[in-house]
């Protein structure tokens, strides 16, 4: 008999899920489209059918212990997704309540995707022995999960850890949140694309990125161009890391973490983003914090970090006393 | 028989102390000079003699349960004061170890002054029913104590909560920490003095503050001038609150507190500082955080907040299980 939880990672395009035990072994995983479903109930029915199918494929008996969900704008306290800008479903969606109807009798718990990634890092990843750390997800936007004294910081309303929306520049770039100059408009897959286009406009030097449209340009292309020595791409990583590092120095002044983990699309550029980020953070740190805070790549694979994080959330909810 | 702790508030000029019970009743209190003692051991011997004298004056028997200390650059984990810029004693001072020699057998615990103020607010003040809040002390500099999920945030090294040193402006005002543009160079008793002098230079309007030298000018004078309608003083408060509010919006994006309490010299200006701070914070908040976070004056008296905070720290260390 295997004890396992379902980890569900709801993204704007796909929903990934996996059947995962306490040690982080994933018995099976798959995905469905998120964006194909205009109605949340239809989506959930289809997701449940798929999960049932996946469960049947696992050899031996699986005892389901709980369900963990990571989702954009997910609220841990209320079990809801609230006003998600990148999903088809509008308003406040009572996700936990609706999933409980399919899985009665086991805990169902939800948080935002970056918080789930932080819990994944704590339970299965590079933060296993840490009590104070931060995970920064560098996807389309910038998400963050802050852990203090071994506990995820949810804040009084369940929405803490929105570092993507600290201010970089007073009248800076337009942000999807309706304001200007937010960190994620500079530091994210989309942010570095904007930076490349700014430098293409300002500089006259040659770049392989001059032949690519804004819509076609991806963080992966910028990474590969930088690895080939493209000067515009390299300057864009330098600029991105400098801004991220300066803002992380302010974040360290808040919670003084042992390490900051980077995860997601831009983190795949490895040293290209790590090096300027660490350098800029050190330059901007208050002296008492210098040479103390590690900046690391997440130990979770980018491919399934969301699923592992959601699973870890469920296992954490089940508590240490159920540990065997 | 009375159970009490000693709360000690070490400041640059004076060291205040009080004998305080669990409910916050202060049986006796007094102070000695801090700056008169070049040597920490001499200082401590004198402080101990004075406390013994004060204890003898309290009618009935007092059973000492512990000692709490709030001090600039105090480290909770190590019980040390480390490289304090505004004290005579240099390097790392093992304060807890040395005080334990005078008070063996009871817990002796130390943290920085702003953290102690936050614990005072939690135990005796306006945050008694809150689990997530922040205290900002607006004295000569800007200190902060962050509480998450009912626990003070110390960080991995014991130095968390240094909001006075988040960056406002890249090449901004010189800060005592050796960097430029730190929040406390704008938002503190000293910061608003600098702002007044900037506006006196920039504007041609009359102001009663034009007859006062930089060295003579105090936050109290600026407050009183503003209360009398002085336009330079009022503009200085507006500017100070605008900067504080914008930075608090970033802080809310980190830990999403229920309330932010202001304490210390500048907070005595009440609405003059509260109103522009709250307005600017709201203008700069991510929409999901708007109209949720209170900005309040501390419920602790400015006169003894440090002593009450240090006492609360000791009681908190003694734990809930010793409660009667």
- Interface contact flag, A255 B146, Cβ < 8 Å: yes
The nearest CA of chain B is from the CA of A59 a distance in Å of: 42
**pLDDT (average), residues A175-203:** 96
**Shortest distance, CA B46 to any CA of chain A (angstroms):** 30
Q: Give A323's pLDDT tier (boundaries 50, 70, 90).
A: very low
State the span(s) of chain A assigned CATH 3.30.420.40: 2-112+311-322, 126-297
| Residues whose CB falls within 8 Å of the CB of residue B165, separated by 6 or more in sequence, listed in order | A253, A286, B175, B177, B179, B182, B183, B184
User: Quick check: helix, strand or coil at residue A243?
Assistant: helix
Question: Model confidence over A107-117: pLDDT tens digits?
Answer: 999 999 999 99
Q: Which residue of A has its CA nearest to B74?
A: A288
pLDDT (0 to 100) of residue A322: 44
Do the Cβ atoms of A295 and A248 come closer than 8 Å?
yes
Report which of A209, A214, A275 is spatially closest to residue A244, judged by C-alpha positions.
Answer: A275
pLDDT at site A320: 53
Please name the member of B151, B160, B246 whose beta carbon is closest to the beta carbon of A167. B246
What residues of chain A lie within 8 A of the CB of B111, using their CB? none
Q: Which CATH superfamily is domain B2-112+303-322 in?
A: ATPase, nucleotide binding domain (3.30.420.40)
What's residue B12's pLDDT?
85
Domain A2-112+311-322 annotated CATH 3.30.300.30? no
Segment A123-132 shows an average pLDDT of 94
Residues of chain B positioned with their CB less than 8 A from the CB of A77: none
**Are A254 and B255 an interchain contact pair (Cβ–Cβ within 8 Å)?**
yes
Whole-number Cα distances in Å, B283 to A133, A244, B286, B296: 29, 23, 9, 17
Read off the pLDDT of residues A196-215 as tens digits, 9 standing for 90 and up.
999 999 999 999 999 999 99
Q: How far is the C-alpha of B24 from the C-alpha of A298, rounded, in Å?
A: 46
How does DSSP assign A160-173, residue by residue?
Answer: ---GGGSBS-TT-S
Contact A82 B288 (CB under 8 A): yes
Look at B153 and A154 and tell me if their CB atoms are within 8 Å.
no
Nearest Cβ partner for B256 among A155, A250, A253: A155
The answer, yes or no, to whether residue A324 has pLDDT greater than 60, is: no
Interchain proximity B255–A178, CB inside 8 Å:
no
Query: Contact, B141 vs B164, CB < 8 A?
Result: yes
The confidence band for A98, taking pLDDT boundaries of 50, 70 and 90, is very high
How far does the CA of residue A291 sit from the closest CA of chain B (Å)?
12
β-strand partners of A4: A64
A287·B177 Cβ contact <8 A:
yes
Mutate one of A112, A114, A165 to test the B interface: name it (highest B CB count within 10 A): A165
- Parts of chain B with a pLDDT under 50: 321-324
Task: Tell me which residue in A131, A153, A249 faces B255 most closely, judged by beta carbons.
Answer: A153
Domain with CATH 3.30.420.40 in chain B: 2-112+303-322, 126-297
What gap in Å lies between CA A79 and CA A317, rounded to an integer? 13
Whether A256 sits inside 8 A of B289 (CB atoms) is no
What is the structure's pLDDT at A70? 96
> A126-297 sits in which CATH class?
alpha beta
- pLDDT band for A66, please (50, 70, 90 cuts): very high
pLDDT at A84: 85
Distance of residue B166 Cα from the nearest chain A Cα, in angstroms: 5
For residues A291-306, average pLDDT: 90
Residue A124 has pLDDT above 50, yes or no: yes
Q: Which of A82, A147, A166 has the most B C-beta neighbours within 10 Å, making it the best mutation to test the interface with B? A: A166
CB contact under 8 Å between B255 and A253, yes or no, is: no
Cβ pair B265, B220 in contact under 8 A: yes
Q: Do A251 and B254 touch (CB under 8 A)?
A: yes
Encode pLDDT of B158-217 as tens digits: 999 999 999 999 999 999 899 999 999 999 999 999 999 999 999 999 999 999 999 999
* pLDDT at residue B323 in the model: 43
Q: Which residues of B touch A (CB under 8 A)?
A: 73, 82-83, 130-132, 146, 148-149, 151, 153-163, 165-167, 177-179, 246, 249-251, 253-258, 284, 286-289, 292
* pLDDT mean over A238-258: 98
Distance of CA A297 to the CA centre of its chain: 13
């Amino acid at each position: 008999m295997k004890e396992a939880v379902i980890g569900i990672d709801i993204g704007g395009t796909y929903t990934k899920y996996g059947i995962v035990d306490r040690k982080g072994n994933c018995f099976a995983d798959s995905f469905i489209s998120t964006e194909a479903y205009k109605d949340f109930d239809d989506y959930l029915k289809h997701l449940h059918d798929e999960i049932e199918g996946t469960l049947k494929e696992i050899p031996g008996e699986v005892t389901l212990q709980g369900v963990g969900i990571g989702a954009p704008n997910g609220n841990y306290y209320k079990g809801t997704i609230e006003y998600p800008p990148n999903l088809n479903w509008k308003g406040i969606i009572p996700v936990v309540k609706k999933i409980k109807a399919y899985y009665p009798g086991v805990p169902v718990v939800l948080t935002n995707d970056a918080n789930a990634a932080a819990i994944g890092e704590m339970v299965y990843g590079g933060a296993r022995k840490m009590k104070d750390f931060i995970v920064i997800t560098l996807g389309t936007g910038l998400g963050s999960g802050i852990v203090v004294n071994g506990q995820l910081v949810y804040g009084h309303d369940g929405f803490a850890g929105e570092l993507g929306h600290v201010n970089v520049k007073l009248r800076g770039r337009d942000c999807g949140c309706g304001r200007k100059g937010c960190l994620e408009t500079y530091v994210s897959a989309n942010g570095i694309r904007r930076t490349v286009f700014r430098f293409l406009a300002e500089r006259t030097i040659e770049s392989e990125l001059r032949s690519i449209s804004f819509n076609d340009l991806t963080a992966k292309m910028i990474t590969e161009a930088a690895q080939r020595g493209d000067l515009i791409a390299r300057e864009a990583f330098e600029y991105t890391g400098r801004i991220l590092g300066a803002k992380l120095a302010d974040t360290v002044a808040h919670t003084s973490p042992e390490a900051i983990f980077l995860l997601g699309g831009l983190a795949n550029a490895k040293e290209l983003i790590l090096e300027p980020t660490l350098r800029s953070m050190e330059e901007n740190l208050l002296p008492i914090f210098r040479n103390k805070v590690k900046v690391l790549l997440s130990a979770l694979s980018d491919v399934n970090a969301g699923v592992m994080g959601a699973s870890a959330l469920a296992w954490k909810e089940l508590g240490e006393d159920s540990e065997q």
